[in-house]
Structure 1
Amino acid sequence: MVSDLSAYAAQGYSVLAQQGSGPLGADFGKASPIGLLVLVLLAAAVLYLGWAFHRRFSRMNRRRMFAEKHGIDPFDEQALDAAMEQAGVLDHKKKHWL
Structure 2
Amino acid sequence: MVNDLVFMVLAQGDPGVPSGSEFGKASPVGLFVLVVLIVAVGYLAFALTRRMRRMNRRRAFAEANGLDVFDEQALDQAMREAGLADVDKKRWL
Structures share a fold, TM > 0.5? Answer: yes
Q: How many residues align?
A: 80
TM-score normalised by L of structure 1:
0.69
What amino acid is the match of 1:82?
Q
Runs of 4+ in 1 over 2 A off after TM superposition: 20-24, 92-97
Q: Structure 1 residue aligned with 2:38, among 29, 34, 43?
A: 43
| 2:64 is equivalent to residue 66 of structure 1 | no
| 2:71 is equivalent to residue 76 of structure 1 | yes
Q: Report SS of the residue matched to 1:66.
A: helix
> Matched residues, percent identical?
59
Taking the aligned partners of 2:91 and 2:65, their CA distance within structure 1 comes to 27
Quote the offset at 1:96 in angstroms. 6.3
Gaps of 5+ in 1: 1-17
Taking the aligned partners of 1:88 and 1:81, their CA distance within structure 2 comes to 11
Quote the offset at 1:95 in angstroms. 8.6
Gaps of 5+ in 2: 1-10
In structure 2, the residue matched to 1:30 is 25
| 2:54 is equivalent to residue 54 of structure 1 | no
RMSD over aligned CA atoms reads 2.5
TM-score normalised by L of structure 2:
0.73
Higher relative contact order (CA 8 A, sep 6+): 2
Q: Report SS of the residue matched to 1:30.
A: coil
